[in-house]
Each structure stands twice: as C-alpha cells, then as structure tokens.
Structure 1
C-alpha cells in the first residue's frame, strides 16, 4: 500500500475547516490560519494521517481555553493575541494559560517602566521649574531689598535735611533772642563728654573670615570659648576664641575653626542655607536648622551626629529645653516638632497653625509656645493633642516670642508694630505696647528679677524695630522705660549682658551699639563693614560677637 503524505498547509486547512464547520469561528484562530502555520517548524515535513486526531484534540482544548477565559473579565481577543499559532498546536490548556499570564506580566512591567520614565521626566521638569521660581523669588527679593535700601537712603537724606533746617531755625531763634550773633551760646549746644560714645577701633576687634555668604546667626557655647555661626553659604562654623584681648594680634594666628557642611560634594547648595542654631545646656552639642527642612546635630568638634528629617519646609527656629532631653523646631510647613534626644526620633508633631511657624520657645522642660504668620500664638504641652492656650490679638505676623526667666509671662512682637505681654491666667494680653512706629523684629528679656542670678534688679523687656529704635519696657507697671535712638536703620538684634546691666544692639546701619540699661545711653560703638543680623554675649560677659552681611563674624572685648 502506498504511504500517504500531507503538508502542514493542507493539514492546517483541514483543521480550520473542521473547526469552522463545528461552529467555531474565533478570530484569533482564524488569524493563526491566515498567518499561515505552514511557516512553523513542521512546514515541509511529512505528517502521518493519525496526527489529525491530535490536532483536532488541540482545537477542542483551544475551545475549552476560550470558554475558561470568557468566564472571566478578561479580553479574550487580547489574551489570544499573546499566543503564537504553533503554541495552539503544541501546548495544552494549562501551558497556554501560563504563557498568557507570563506575557501579560511582561507587558505590565513594560508599561510600568514607561510610567516610571514619564514620572521621572515630570519630576525633573518640576524641579527645573521650581529652581527657576526660586531664582526669580531671590531676584525679586534682591530688587525689593535694593528698593528698600534706596528708600532708606532717601529717608535718611530727608531726615538730615530736616535736622539741618531745624538746627538753622533754632540758631536763628537764638540770634534773634540775643539781639545779634555776639551773645554767648547756651551750654547745651555742645553735648557733654559723657554722652559721646567711645568708638571701638578695628584694631581691637577680631574679624573671623571664611564664610562665603551672609552670616545670619551666631551663638556662644554656654560651656567655654566656642562660638558658632551659621551662613547663607550652607555651612555653620565652630570657632575657638582664645582667652585674652581681641584685636589685630589674633589675626596673625587665626582661631581654630571647624566647618560644618550641610551639603555633599564640592559646591554648596542654596537650599541648605543655615537659618538658625542653638547649643545645648552643656555646650556639648550644636543644633542647626536649614532651609532644606532638616535639623542637624553636631559635636563641639564639628562631627555630624544626627540628621532629623520630618519637616517639609525650612526650619526658622530651634531650641533645646533646659534639661536637654528634648529639642524643639519650628518650620515653614506650619508645624512644630519635639525631638527625643535619646533616640533622635520625633516625639510629637504639633499642627495647630494655618501658616508658617516663625518662632518657638520653651516655657519649661515640657511646655512651650509657638508663633506664626497667621497672627496666632499657641502654648503647647508634650503629650497633649490640643493647645493649652491660644492667644489672638496681633493684627500682623508674629515674628518672635520669649518667656520671661520664670516662665510666667510670655512676650510677643509683630509686624503690627506692637509688643504684647501674655499670661496663662487670662485670654487677653496683659500689656499692649504701641510706641513703635514700624514692625518689631525681635524681643529679649533681661536676665534679672526673680529666678535669675540678678534678683535685685527689675525685670526689663527690650524690643527692636524697623523704626531704628530699641525700646526698654518696665514690665511690672507696663510702661516705657527708655527709647534708645542711636541707630539709623532697622535693628535686627538685641542682647542683654549676663549681669543685665548692658545691652548690645545690631542694625543694618552697620553699627553695633553697647548701651547702659540704667542710664539709657550709648557707651560704646563699633562700625563694621556690613549690616548686622545678630549679636550675642559670651557666658562671662567680657566678649561680644556679631555676624554681618559682608560674610564676617566680629568678636570684641567689653570692659568698663
């Protein structure tokens, strides 16, 4: 008997016709036929007639596979498009289902990769736009500052002209009164020698150089001769200031310094500018807050010990409590966070403000106050989910808050030009000081009165304003004690000496004044090379540091 042969094309057609006549017309299998199984490995080989039964069985399995898929919510046509025609002949149902699952998984992974790439491109574009916005904001800020500077110069010139005219009018009045110019001049025309401040020479000042941008903050360690400074160059520095007199002799052998970098790599990052810093009570750890929203903990040798990451905006204020077991931070993200210094974990996050938090201050080891651009002040306690007290009364941003030495009175100052005194015993302010004519930038309590090392001296509050004055307030009776009028431009910082007898002030007019609290007059003046952002006394009270906009920190001696 002659042996029969059949090609794959003929066999494929027979199978296709068999399934079609059986009522099976699925497009995927039809596509397998039309695409031509004759192009597979079996093409051209002799297929025994008995193979027809096997192939028909495969077709029936295929119908079963389709039925199983149609019971699900899957797209059957889409599923079969993942199969090769040869798979339908050589694989059983379970194998075909496995192939479909694997192909769909591969397809899903590819789609995920595409989505990730799109997300990455979106994030990069967003970061580029954000960088441009920051640069524009910085340029706008620079323009505003330049306009303010020009306005202040014009105001200063107008003030000088007014003073000149006023002096001319007074001289004319005296001439008229005396009947001519030959009469004796009054004794008060020339200021007495006591009212002329002593000028501090640059040769008596140690100038610390190294920062690459404005120096915004400085603080003496409470336990030694270390001075910390924070700058817009994204670094903080710890300077060792030797004992003995300051001056040019120290410049020959500059002080030892540790540079605390807030960035990685060779170039600095403006988003990591240091905005605030504070030493713990023992002087063993320094906390710095940065524009990147991170707080960093450093040893006195400049070693980075911890990085605290939870805030979502720049940190504007950092304070250790007296015990040293908690660190408090306030951020533009509207929150304040208490950090446990044993574990460096977030102990509690306080989310009461509706706008950026500008300042924080401990009342005692477990409670504190916060203030914000939302005009509100909150008194909070660790473990409590609601504020102990909420003070409303300011009509502008609250720039600073400070508890008095006993923690019973809270002082606040605002863009509304007022300073207020609050007590937990009542909701309304105790005193409302309105004598300033412009925004009040900062306030300080004197280290005097009950609970201090100077209990026999009265408690005094100092406020520094954009109206170029510092005002001293007698808190017991709620009245103005002195208005200190020696500066020509906004005053950014004031600090009391440890004995409470003197106060140092720094202004954009580049002058540092040292005042007598008792007499309300300037005793000494130092003229620097830039606007002054902060001044501070060392623990002994014999040295004063100031940080400047010309990238320097200056240290000078104080002895009366």
Structure 2
C-alpha cells in the first residue's frame, strides 16, 4: 500500500506565508502569521525554498495536463492550445461538438471536469529585487514628525499608459550557453559556505583587500578574508573571520543592504526589521537606530562618509549624522508611497525614489525638495548617479529607464527633460553606469529586467546599443568591472555571464546550479588584483577570480 499523502492546513498556511514574504507582501504575511497562529507551528522555522508554493502548484497542474491529454493508453503531445492559471484549457485535440455528434462520457470527464484543468506558468521568482512591498499607512506612521511635501493620496495610474507592468514572465527557453566554468583555471571559482539561508547581499571593503561582508535572509552577517592570486589555495576552505548572528530576534529580518564608507572603516546594514546598524571592520556595533517604522530597502554613505541616507517601506527617507551617531532629519517626500531607493548626488544632496513614480532631489540645508523629477509610469526601483555626478539614471516597473541631467540641480530653474530608454518588455530591476568612457565617447548605462535580458545604452542619444539575451529567467543583478571593460549579469537561472563592453560579445559564463539564483554581484579591485562576489540563493557566497579566467585577460 503506498504511503498516504498528507496535506494539512498548517502546511498550506506556511507555504502561503513564505510566498507572501518572497513577494514583499509584508502586511499579508503578518496577517496570515497571526490568524493562522504560525508562531506555534512546528513548520514555521523550516527552510522553504523560494518559489516553493508555485513550484508545487506547477507540478500538480502538470499532472492535470497529463490527465487531460491521456487518450486510451498513450499521451497526446500535439495539443497547441495553451495552459494558464486562470483560463479554462480548450484542448485543440478535441473537436467542437455538434447536435449530431453523440459521444460517451470519457473516464476523465466522469472523474472531474478536465476542461477546467490548468497548467501553471513558469514559477515566479522572488520579488525582493523589485521591492514591490505594499502597505496601508497606519496611524502611527501618519503621526511621525518628518519633513517634505504634504502627504497625498497616490494618483491612479493612467489606464491609457502602455507601460508593460503586467506582462507575464517570458516563456522558458533553452540555455544559449553551456552551464559550466569551462575556460577557467583551477580555483577560479570558490564557495564560501557558512550561511544557513539565502544570501541576499554582499559587499567588498574598498580599502582592505579581500575583506567581504555577506548578509542572508536570517539576519546573519558574515565577515570573510578572501585570498587572491598566489595566496589563493583552492583546496583550503575559507571560514568566516567573524559572524554576527544575534543582530535581531525579529522573524522577518532579511538583510537588504550592505554599504561600506569610502575608507572601509564602517559598514551600514539595512534590514527588514526596520533598524539601521553601522558596524566596524571588527564587527562591533558603532551605532544603531530604530527610527524607521518599516523595512529598510537602502542604506548608503555620502561620498565623505559624514552622512548615511536610508529608504524605507514606511514611506520615508532618513539622513543620519555618522560622527554624532544620531538622526539628522527624516523626510516624507513620497506621500504615503513607500520609498524604494536613495542616492547621494554630492555630500549634502541626495535623491530618493518611490512607488509614487517620482524622484525627489533634496538638499540637507533646504526646507523642501529642490526638484521633482516626473515621467515614469511605474514604481521606480533604483537610481544611480554617474561618476562625474552630473547625470542621474533611474529604472522602473514601467519597463523604461531614464537619464536626468542634474548639472544645475542647485538652481531654481527646472531641470531638462530626461532621455528615455525604451525597449524592455517587463519591469527593470537594476541600472548601472559604466565607470569609464573614452575621450569623446558618450557615457553608457546597463539595465537588467524581468524580461530575462540586459541591455546596454547610449545615455545621450537614448539608443539601445546591445540586447544581451542569454539568460532564461529574470535578470536580478548587473555590474561593470572597475575598469569598465566588462559587464557581468546574474539571474534567476543561476547563470553568471561576462560580456566585453567594447565588442559587446560574451566572453565567459558560469552556471551556479539549479535553484541557485544570483541576487547580487560586487566586483572590486585593489591595485592589480580584483575579485567578484556573488550572493546566491543556495545559501552561500561564490567568489570568482577574474585573474584565473583567460578569456577575461585577453580582451
């Protein structure tokens, strides 16, 4: 007798709770946690892989597809009608019935209506990268003493907008590159294994060669000393030099941001538990504050390290005085919409973006925003300033990126219209500036998208120079090499792909394994050596030594 199938309401509730957390629906996750009494569940502390609920539904519906197409003693495989989650499957193998066509009921029909069977789409990836958390403004938040423009109700989105915000995930396609590290010398790729949950963030110390910090879903921060060059013995396992495992007791404390100051003496840590922490290179707590009332999505030092700016789900951004160890000011510049990212434009001016589709430019000495940048038709997920701090790039859920001229941001005169970068078919997850441009050449930016592509753009003309379509799932992470010669992408398909910027050609790729999405990439150089760190879904950090990849040396 086969083993019984056991499905309990408690198990289902835990799966739904994990799905809500993965999708950024914090209030929904909290509600089911309380109403389902999940804190008393024996399953709540079990590791549930990202997308597990959707994957289980997919497998069940694939069985339903087989059930619908089983004819006699064989499976019909030439049905051209699609399956979907919400639409009834109209099988193309079944001819339309007529008044003269009398049929005996089929076995499958007697056991259930197979016409209603549905096949799941490709399992959706974690929405952490797109930061799509939603909330209602509670009374406590509304009473916070903050600066900025008056809170306004979000404007309804233009129904005529052609912004591609609701497009489905692109259909699965075969890998265009072999999933391996072919072409790399022994020891080119190493794993750092100490985390017990998915690793979301990594950051190299810009001043101390080989010092890396990594943060995971369970609020654990690991410090690493990673050897390179002749000191890198691939047979010798690398262990953390320090582990911060008692940062919080909050069950929802995913680490969302790691950012070093310019001299590598302090690292800022952002978390879903709403607390900003600043730690030293030895792991000591320099400062922490719980002024935010919602998850912190971004935490960034100003160029001099005097200030830190944060962005939060509580609809505010905060600026902190690092030396004085206190908050300088809290801003509500996006009404009741959550603030998704911040970026320093100079040492006393920063920009913030949010779910209200606008960007605010704020001076620490002004009483209100200097400028409001409007044009996006969807939530703005990321903003980045170019190396000369004269242009600001933004990317959003509307499938576009924009380049804003901020040279005269301290003038009362309105800033020029943005350059619009259009071509992606789904929301954009990240945008990065190429750190180097030749004499007379236009600056370049690269974008990553849920449409499984990355693109390279001319920021002056707005032209798409190249579409990189080698990934098979969402592209989460994108960055340039410090010298600007290479562009590297990482996605939900577990593939790391390195392109040469000049030739626009793929130079090298590496496959991390199944169910091992790449959430973040940091490529740092110290003198003549450099290392790439990858935050992996498979509960570890990967280190790639470009010096041991010949294809990256010959270009």
Instruction: Give the structure-2-normalised TM-score.
Output: 0.65
Q: What's 2:517 paired with?
A: 531
Alpha-carbon separation, structure 1, partners of 2:461 and 2:326: 44
Q: What's 1:491 paired with?
A: 475
Q: What's 2:367 paired with?
A: 385
Contact 2:54 2:123 (C-alpha < 8 Å) held by counterparts:
no
Deviations along 1:73-122, whole A, 9 cap, x unmatched?
Answer: xxxxxxxxxxxxxxxxxxxxxxxxxxxxxxxxxxxxxxxxxxxxxxxxxx
Alpha-carbon separation, structure 1, partners of 2:363 and 2:269: 23
In structure 1, runs of 5+ residues without a counterpart are: 1-124, 164-190
Contact 1:246 1:555 (C-alpha < 8 Å) held by counterparts:
no
Contact 2:186 2:234 (C-alpha < 8 Å) held by counterparts:
no
Alpha-carbon separation, structure 1, partners of 2:353 and 2:264: 27
Alpha-carbon separation, structure 2, partners of 1:349 and 1:318: 14
Q: What's 2:53 paired with?
A: 143
Q: 1:207 is paired with a residue of what secondary structure? A: strand
Going from structure 1 to structure 2, the CA distance change for 1:245 and 1:205 (only over 3 Å counts) comes to farther
1:23-172 to 2 correspondences below 5 Å: 129=34, 143=53, 151-152=121-122, 159=173
Q: What's 1:284 paired with?
A: 265
Q: What's 1:240 paired with?
A: 225
1:120-519 to 2 correspondences below 5 Å: 129=34, 143=53, 151-152=121-122, 159=173, 198-200=182-184, 203-224=187-208, 225-244=210-229, 249-263=233-247, 269-354=250-335, 355-424=337-406, 426=414, 429-449=417-437, 458-519=442-503
Alpha-carbon separation, structure 1, partners of 2:269 and 2:416: 34
Deviations along 1:341-394, whole A, 9 cap, x unmatched?
Answer: 111111111111121111100001000111111111111110222111111211
Contact 1:206 1:251 (C-alpha < 8 Å) held by counterparts:
no
Q: 1:217 is paired with a residue of what secondary structure? A: strand
Q: Which has the higher helix share?
A: 1
Going from structure 1 to structure 2, the CA distance change for 1:339 and 1:509 (only over 3 Å counts) comes to same
Deviations along 1:376-413, whole A, 9 cap, x unmatched?
Answer: 11111102221111112111111001111122211111
Going from structure 1 to structure 2, the CA distance change for 1:477 and 1:291 (only over 3 Å counts) comes to same
Contact 1:393 1:428 (C-alpha < 8 Å) held by counterparts:
no
Contact 2:188 2:546 (C-alpha < 8 Å) held by counterparts:
no
Q: What's 1:520 paired with?
A: 504
- Offset at 1:296? 0.7
Contact 1:398 1:414 (C-alpha < 8 Å) held by counterparts:
yes
Cα RMSD (Å) of the superposition?
Answer: 3.2
Contact 2:122 2:172 (C-alpha < 8 Å) held by counterparts:
no
Contact 2:173 2:472 (C-alpha < 8 Å) held by counterparts:
no
- Offset at 1:219? 1.0
Going from structure 1 to structure 2, the CA distance change for 1:197 and 1:257 (only over 3 Å counts) comes to closer
Alpha-carbon separation, structure 2, partners of 1:202 and 1:246: 14
Alpha-carbon separation, structure 2, partners of 1:396 and 1:232: 27
Q: 1:443 is paired with a residue of what secondary structure? A: strand
Going from structure 1 to structure 2, the CA distance change for 1:220 and 1:148 (only over 3 Å counts) comes to farther
- Offset at 1:243? 2.7
Q: 2:122 is paired with a residue of what secondary structure? A: helix
Going from structure 1 to structure 2, the CA distance change for 1:334 and 1:147 (only over 3 Å counts) comes to farther
Alpha-carbon separation, structure 2, partners of 1:331 and 1:148: 34
Alpha-carbon separation, structure 2, partners of 1:349 and 1:320: 16
Instruction: Give the structure-1-normalised TM-score.
Output: 0.65
Contact 2:395 2:401 (C-alpha < 8 Å) held by counterparts:
yes
Contact 2:491 2:517 (C-alpha < 8 Å) held by counterparts:
yes
Give 1 or 2 for the bigger CA radius of gyration.
Answer: 1
Alpha-carbon separation, structure 2, partners of 1:139 and 1:521: 34
Alpha-carbon separation, structure 2, partners of 1:157 and 1:463: 20
Higher relative contact order (CA 8 A, sep 6+): 2
Contact 1:199 1:526 (C-alpha < 8 Å) held by counterparts:
no
Going from structure 1 to structure 2, the CA distance change for 1:433 and 1:285 (only over 3 Å counts) comes to same
- Offset at 1:303? 1.4
In structure 2, runs of 5+ residues without a counterpart are: 1-29, 60-119, 125-168, 409-413, 548-552
Q: What's 1:557 paired with?
A: 545
